[in-house]
Amino acid sequence: MNESDLQTLTQRSSHCRGQCPWLRWFAGGGGVAAVLVIVMSSGCRPEAKSPAAKTVDAEGRPSRPPISVETTNAVERSMPRYLRVTGQLQGMQDAQVAADTAGKVIEAPVERGSLVQAGSVLVKVDGRTAELSLTEAEASVALAEAKLALAKNESERNAPLVKTKAIAEADFRKLEAEQAGREADLAAAVARRDLTRKTLTDSVIRAPFAGLVVERYVQPGEYVKADTRIARVVEVARLRLLLNVPETAVGSVREGQTVEFTTAAYAGETFIGVIKFLGGAVRESARDLIVEAEVLNADGRLKPGLFAEAHVRLSETNVVTIPAESLRVEGSRRSVFLVENGVLAERLVEVGETLDGWLEVRRGVKAGEAVVISPGREMADGVPVKVMRP
């Protein structure tokens, strides 16, 4: 390296020494040849001027243009309190219909899921034996009536003769006894006839009330006895909602209170019932009280056996509320955005009941604070805003 090259390298090192570590090493006296090769092949370019710094706010954060938001004030409103419980739906009437006769099933016109009216035929049992027995019983009644009529005629004809002593009084008493016997025979014949008629009537098994056939247990050709289950019928126009009220809340429920409940079968839909019956005692095993609410179900959509999540409406109280659309939900995180000194301030909140589009805020917002309506995803803590008046 001649003196001219060394002078050129020295000038470049004075400009780049702070940027190029290898020049600092060179300045210390080592690696002249190697450094020269590197410098001549790639060079050490002067540092480019940095672009103009972005505008920052008073706290050193990059500023951005304000976004437009619409706000409303959190206000106090009267909000009902609810007792939340679980329960199950049952039919208002639920009967395991049984036969009251014996015989072979000849007809079963209903199937599972059939809607029936009170008196609708569920099963027919062979009633020919009962029909024949009824014919015999009716004939016995007719014979007994004829014998009674003859006995009455004899008594009436001989009654004047007793007064004139034309016949002995003992013979007349026999006639009266015979008449009484004929009356007893007639009563027995009538009872046998009515019993046979009932047997014939029982050969047609009917629904005791209007409802839904949940299950049919017999098929045509089977033999049934007087205690054989025929079908299960459940009233579905009215249902019972059995609620499990914990011991600590027993004092807050009473007859006539409104119950709102939901079921998994109809997500997002609310049904209503009215408390009709309170249990007589708290169950020792579960420490709860069974409370029954009546639910009208004229369209039959609700089915017995459905699980329900219910809340019983209790007293009302004044609470801080905001529009329901002001809430941002991210998983289990609930937050709202307030406007403070022209910028957004995100607040985590604890929410409660909802009524007519207004949401109860139990913690995080005070009455009178300006809350952003329908916060968008672009909103964040500290973003400047311009409030749009509604």
Instruction: Give the model confidence (pLDDT) of 314-366 as tens digits.
Output: 878 889 999 999 999 988 899 999 988 888 899 999 998 888 888 999 999 99
CATH number of 127-202: 1.10.287
| Each residue's pLDDT tens digit, 119-133 | 999 999 999 999 999
The whole-angstrom separation of Cα 92 and Cα 298 is: 13
Residue 109 identity = P
For residue 275, pLDDT beyond 80: yes
User: What integer is the mean pLDDT of 246-269?
Assistant: 91
pLDDT value at residue 56: 54
For residue 171, pLDDT beyond 90: no
> β-strand 333-340 against 385-388: which pairing, if any?
unpaired
The whole-angstrom separation of Cα 258 and Cα 239 is: 15
Closest CA to 141 of 179, 174, 72, 190: 190
Higher-pLDDT residue of 302 and 51 is 302
Higher-pLDDT residue of 80 and 96 is 96
In percent, the amount of the chain with pLDDT more than 90 equals: 53
The whole-angstrom separation of Cα 3 and Cα 251 is: 106
In percent, the amount of the chain with pLDDT more than 70 equals: 83
**In sequence order, what DSSP letters do the residues of 255-279 get, joined into one string?**
TT-EEEEE-GGGTT--EEEEEEEE-
User: What integer is the mean pLDDT of 288-310?
Assistant: 93
pLDDT value at residue 189: 95
| Each residue's pLDDT tens digit, 201-225 | 999 999 999 999 999 999 999 999 9
pLDDT value at residue 141: 95
> β-strand 121-125 against 204-206: which pairing, if any?
antiparallel
Band (11; pLDDT cuts 50, 70, 90): low
**In sequence order, what DSSP letters do the residues of 183-214 get, joined into one string?**
HHHHHHHHHHHHHHHHHHHHTEEE-SSSEEEE
Band (242; pLDDT cuts 50, 70, 90): very high
Buried b (16+ CB within 10 A) or exposed e, 295-306: bebeeeebbbeb
Tell me yes or no: is domain 97-123+207-233 CATH 3.40.50.12780: no
pLDDT value at residue 85: 92
pLDDT value at residue 20: 46
| Each residue's pLDDT tens digit, 375-389 | 888 888 888 888 876
Answer for the pair 74, 367: CB distance below 8 angstroms, yes or no: yes
Band (390; pLDDT cuts 50, 70, 90): low
| Each residue's pLDDT tens digit, 174-203 | 988 999 999 999 999 999 999 999 999 999
CATH number of 67-79+317-388: 2.40.420.20
Helix, strand, coil percent content, the chain, rounded in steps of 5: 30, 35, 35
pLDDT value at residue 163: 82
Kindly report whether the global pTM for this prediction surpasses the value 0.75: no
pLDDT value at residue 120: 95
CATH 2.40.30.170 positions along the chain are 84-92+234-315
Structure tokens at 59: 């706290």
CATH 2.40.50.100 positions along the chain are 97-123+207-233
Band (34; pLDDT cuts 50, 70, 90): very low
What's the start-to-end Cα distance of the chain, in Å?
80
Q: Helix (H) and strand (E) counts for the chain? A: 5, 22
pLDDT value at residue 37: 39
Q: Which CATH class is domain 84-92+234-315?
A: mainly beta
CATH 2.40.420.20 positions along the chain are 67-79+317-388
